[in-house]
Amino acid sequence: MGHPLGYIGTDIYSRYHRMNGANVLHPMGFDAFGLPAEQYAVETGIHPAITTEKNLETYKRQLKAFGFSYDWDRSVATTDPAYFKWTQWIFLQLFNSWFDPDRKVARPISELIEDLEAGHLSADGVMWQNLEPADKARYIDSRRLAYIDEVPVNWCPALGTVLANEEVTSEGLSDRGNHPVYQRPLRQWMLRITDYADRLIDDLDLVDWPASVVAMQRNWIGRSEGANIVFEVDGDTPPIRVFTTRPDTVFGATYMVLAPEHDLVDSLTAQMWPDGTKPEWTLGIDSPADAVAAYRLATSRKSDRDRQVDEREKTGVFTGTFAINPLNGERIPIFIADYVLMGYGTGAIMAVPGQDERDWEFAEKFDLPIVRTVMPPPDFEGNAYLGDGPAINSGFLDGLEVEAAKARIIQWLEVNGHGEGTITYRLRDWLFSRQRYWGEPIPILHGPNGELRGVDEAELPLRLPEVDDYRPASMDDEDADPMPALAKADEDWRLVEIDGVTYTRELNTMPQWAGSCWYYLRFIDPDNDERMVGREAEEYWMANGGVDLYVGGVEHGVLHLLYARFWHKVLYDLGHVSTPEPFARLFNQGYILADAFTDDRGVYVDAADVKLNDGVYTYNDEEVTRVYGKMGKSLKNSVNPDAIFAEFGVDTLRLYEMFMGPLDTSRPWSTRDIVGVHRFLHRLWRNFIDEDTGEVLVSDEPSSGELQVLLHKTIASVSGDMEHLHFNTAVARLFELNNALVAEDRVPADIAAVFPRLLSPFAPHISEELWHRMGKEGSVVTAPWPHHDEELVREEMATMIVQVNGKVRDRLEVPIGITETEAVALALASERVLAHTGGADPRKVIARLPNVVSLVV
């Protein structure tokens, strides 16, 4: 459980809408697969299902203590077999679908087979009829949205599992636990999220989300337009395809670089160094093959983190082979270097040092020629020139500006068969296998000849087997393939016989994010045994383009929200849900911040036990360092809600958290400030109840005059604030009304009827109590939200400021409908104004009535 700030926010919003007669679905669920539960199981040997169950009870108890109005009948846990049955079912939907690139939608795989058999499509250019059955199966498997592929993956030895790109931080460490991550090729389950890249970008226009999250998603998907260019290579090696966003600079390509892991490296590496090989190109090694092998080994030993150190020197080695620049026929040397990444574009680049800083750096270090193909401005100082300008040294492109040159060269490439315009994404397919125990088993069977078979839907849920040890199997050889924890299951789980064929179960489990990709759908219809979610219920609740309000932390800006959108779109394409996007409105709540403390090892210590003496913080008499961060378990700086409840009560805590600032802003916790809201509640109580006698101090008479106006203004502004989640200002308005009541002997009847209702979303307990003491019918929770009287809110007088030469010189009370002539006359007659105008006629008069008269003299 994170800090409850966001939960308080949705609870208030839900209660407000219920009082307005809305049918509110406000659920809470538990994403309980994953590392914490598993690690606890490893340590204690207790099955994670048992500890998970216990934790859920604790969480529920704590959440209930906050007075949250969740519909507990709709609660789900991703670890519940009745739930993950459908997570597995969705996986099978992915497995049984393909992405139709023409229609840009997912379709059942059976339709691909039909199209192939009918001859509408070919299998990568080969007639379907000409394929052997095994090749047909292999082709079909390669087209599925869930497919197995050998790709460079993020291998985290400390966690014993592979990780998705999204789970690796920019420092090259695991998102969970900060362990180093290494690249290595492995056969793993992948989900084809990249096919959805364009739709994941475009459909961000359909949702009401914070700009920052929209930017993060666009950034992560990283669409970039450019061209693929094909370079022929000396000898009998196949040509090399490069991706570039600057095809206009191709005349300046003076060498070429492949990623060290590139497929063609072996076949193009020369037998011996050709004439003219410079010494710095060879690592001092006699043969190209040895030099390349040495460089590749060195690269593979580096963790992602090492590869990303800031002051990175360019390194690389010549392959001994040349490519031909298709534009000018120049022979250019081919290098491998780790500044080119296998996972982006084609894993190969044409290097244009004149217009690329990285290439410039490499060219200088390796003594390679540099040709400018864009004319820099005369005052340009520096190396590579990235800006706009006319093309030079570029044959038929000379004189064209960058954009025009790009269009021209792409046309040339396409006409002459040397390449084509294309789009590349930073986003990569979602690595979906984990070697951990505590996750959803992937419902796939492997046949004796490598054929894949989905577990029958009737067999779902596929439960986890019992094992003695929940750890992924450890390996002596660090290069050995990771061994999933499920490999330790008994044979009667692992092996399945169908029609006399023995299949092996898939031993990987799904990643943490699988269950949370679709839980919002299950809340709609949590007990449905027939379907993931009933069609009618889904259409009813998702009618406004998805979930009406999703409050969560920005930390899900990429991971969870991207994955969930992807799954949702697949389900949409297959007709299982009715909206293209899952979450219509997203709101990021801020964090509660607090001091945290680390000891000399950099380990967090319990902030509650840190003492301050003479400006020095100590823990167990050891000096500790003060840091500042998000309140929570990981920094050990939580304020225990139970202690706050005991001292101030739940209503105070709820109000305090809302009053501290806007919901989307992080703010420091300050126990000192709590007394403010606590005083408010006491004052409210004293306004309504005589503390000595318990008498209810409510008058039979309604309010009048200013107090009545204040009441209606309060109703108006609190209601407006509720819609916009401006809870801090709503609370401030309630403070003002409450303060105004202090001077009254008794609370006027109309105010007494309204105040507990306005307050009840924030402080439900005291509101309910007052409601009952006043003898009102039913619960304040079901009382209708009050409405203000427009007539009473409308002002009759306004304060008009009078400016002389831009400075405020007087303030006058004027009727709201004052005419310009009257206003100006009044302004000019003001003594304070006269003191500054000297009685002279103004040169210019601007009136914005009834607020401003501005005079220029």
Partner RNA sequence: GCCCGGGUGGCGAAACCGGUAUACGCGGCGGACUUAAAAUCCGCUGUCCUUCGGGGCGUGUGAGUUCAAGUCUCACCCCGGGCACCA
Give buried/exposed letters for 90-119 (b at 16+ CB in 10 A, else e).
bbbbbbbbbbbeeeebbbebeebbebbeee
Selected from 161, 174, 183, 424, the binder of RNA by CB under 7 A is 424
Tokens in use for 104? 């840009």
Closest distance between RNA and the C-beta of residue 727, in Å?
Answer: 9
343 sits near RNA (criterion: CB under 7 A): yes
677 sits near RNA (criterion: CB under 7 A): yes
Q: Helices in 689-726 by DSSP H: which ranges?
A: 705-723
Stretch that binds RNA, among 264-272, 491-499, 752-760, 801-809 (CB under 7 A): 801-809
Closest distance between RNA and the C-beta of residue 402, in Å?
Answer: 12
107 sits near RNA (criterion: CB under 7 A): no
Assign residue 698 a region: left if phi > 0, alpha if psi is -120 to 50, beta otherwise? beta
625 sits near RNA (criterion: CB under 7 A): no
Selected from 726, 772, 773, 776, the binder of RNA by CB under 7 A is 726
Closest distance between RNA and the C-beta of residue 106, in Å?
Answer: 25
59 sits near RNA (criterion: CB under 7 A): no
Question: Residue 707 contacts by C-beta under 8 Å, 6 or more apart in sequence?
Answer: 740, 744, 748, 751
Which residues, numbered 492-551, are part of the site for RNA (CB under 7 A)? none
604 sits near RNA (criterion: CB under 7 A): no
Selected from 4, 27, 347, 461, the binder of RNA by CB under 7 A is 347
Selected from 109, 216, 627, 774, the binder of RNA by CB under 7 A is 216
Which residues, numbered 737-776, are part of the site for RNA (CB under 7 A)? 739, 742-743
Selection from 538, 529, 616, 628 nearest residue 577 by Cα: 538
Selection from 435, 514, 521 nearest residue 482 by Cα: 435
Selected from 379, 807, 821, 838, the binder of RNA by CB under 7 A is 807
Instruction: Give the per-residue contact string, 825-844, with RNA (x = CB under 7 A; - = no).
Output: -------x--x--------x
> 153 or 445: whose CB is closer to RNA?
153
736 sits near RNA (criterion: CB under 7 A): yes
Which residues, numbered 540-569, are part of the site for RNA (CB under 7 A)? 554, 557-558
Which residues, numbered 142-171, are part of the site for RNA (CB under 7 A)? 169-170
Closest distance between RNA and the C-beta of residue 766, in Å?
Answer: 15
Closest distance between RNA and the C-beta of residue 670, in Å?
Answer: 7
Question: Residue 264 contacts by C-beta under 8 Å, 6 or more apart in sequence?
Answer: 233, 237, 238, 240, 258, 348
> 371 or 554: whose CB is closer to RNA?
554
Q: What is the rounded CA–CA span in Å between residue 844 and residue 170?
A: 59
Kindly give the pairing relationship between strand 182-191 and strand 146-156: antiparallel
> 389 or 580: whose CB is closer to RNA?
389
Stretch that binds RNA, among 221-229, 631-639, 695-703, 784-792 (CB under 7 A): 221-229
Q: Is 745 exposed, middle or buried (0-12, 13-18, 19+ CB in 10 A)?
A: exposed
Selected from 307, 494, 585, 776, the binder of RNA by CB under 7 A is 307
Selection from 186, 130, 193 nearest residue 163 by Cα: 186
Closest distance between RNA and the C-beta of residue 356, in Å?
Answer: 6
* Angle at alpha carbon of residue 181, lines to 179 and 185, rounded to 5°: 150
219 sits near RNA (criterion: CB under 7 A): yes
- Residues linked to residue 187 through DSSP beta bridges, in sequence order: 150
215 sits near RNA (criterion: CB under 7 A): yes
Helix (H) or strand (E) holding 605: strand 604-605
According to DSSP, residue 738 is labeled H
Selected from 809, 814, 827, 837, the binder of RNA by CB under 7 A is 809
Helix (H) or strand (E) holding 228: strand 223-233
Which residues, numbered 641-670, are part of the site for RNA (CB under 7 A)? 659-662, 665-668, 670
Closest distance between RNA and the C-beta of residue 783, in Å?
Answer: 24
Which residues, numbered 249-278, are part of the site for RNA (CB under 7 A)? 259
Q: What is the rounded CA–CA span in Å between residue 364 and residue 374?
A: 19
Selection from 3, 31, 64 nearest residue 522 by Cα: 31
Tokens in use for 691? 């503390």
